[in-house]
Amino acid sequence: MSEQKVYCNQSPSLPGRQRVGKIIAEIARANSLWVVAYGTGCGAIELRPLHTARFDMERFGIAMRPTPRQADVIIISGYLAVKTLKRVIRVYEQMQAPKYVVALGSCTINGGMYFDSYNTINQLDLYLPVDVYVAGCMPRPESIIEGFTVLMKSIKAGEATGWQHYIENLDYYRSNQNEVIPRWDMPTYNW
């Protein structure tokens, strides 16, 4: 199957204002957040307790989905090596809008412990539109749940528009990504 068929090759367009049931849609979105099951860093170790008995994420309708096509949220769980950043961008762009990014750990904010490492990025929001940062190394499950509640509130208020920002300023993000990722052998728009 040719790339043309798999990936739509024109720049994504912002959907028009949803007149029909905008309120219902946003309440539903806030109450069923599906997280793509991709543990990008060491924060993934705290995502396991998050959906077991102690801190039950599913109470809030947060569930893990194994494929990005069905997910709404991607959790960047900690530092991002350059090799992983490439995969994360690909996964993020394969997710269907509206989509949100939750970044865990101080290493996504300013590099954290790895501020001088030659292989980990220092600021995630140069490459992906981050909706919620959860600080800490590593953040406790309670704080992750707190971050999710903040995300839900902003979704209900219609403020979690990181994905629209990503589409509008795609050139800015692309230039940042391209100067970090040496070989960009991915389709330009792969959603």
Residues 69-98 that bind another protein (CB under 8 A): 69-70, 72, 79, 81-84, 86-87, 91, 96-98
DSSP labels, 90-134: HHHHHSPSS-EEEEESHHHHH-GGGTT-TTB-S-GGGTS--SEEE
User: Cβ of 61: how many Cβ atoms within 10 Å?
Assistant: 15
Binding mask 2-41 for another protein (x = CB under 8 A): ---xx-x---x--x--x--x--xx-xxx-xx-x-xxxxxx
Closer by beta carbon to another protein, 80 or else 132: 80
35 touches 95 (CB < 8 A):
no
Q: How many residues interact with another protein (rule CB under 8 A)? A: 80
Closer by beta carbon to another protein, 119 or else 149: 119
Shortest Cβ 162–another protein spacing (Å) = 14
114-143 positions binding another protein, by CB under 8 A: 114-123, 126, 137-138, 140
Alpha-carbon gap, residue 140 to 146, rounded angstroms: 10
Q: Name residue, tokens 């494929």.
A: 67
Could you say which of 35, 46, 102, 166 contacts another protein (CB under 8 A)?
46
112 touches 79 (CB < 8 A):
yes
Shortest Cβ 93–another protein spacing (Å) = 10
Shortest Cβ 116–another protein spacing (Å) = 4
Beta strands in the chain (DSSP E): 34-36, 63-65, 73-77, 100-104, 132-134
Q: Does 67 bind another protein (CB under 8 A)?
A: yes
Q: Is 7 exposed, middle or buried (0-12, 13-18, 19+ CB in 10 A)?
A: middle
Could you say which of 44, 135, 170, 186 contacts another protein (CB under 8 A)?
44
142-181 positions binding another protein, by CB under 8 A: 179-181
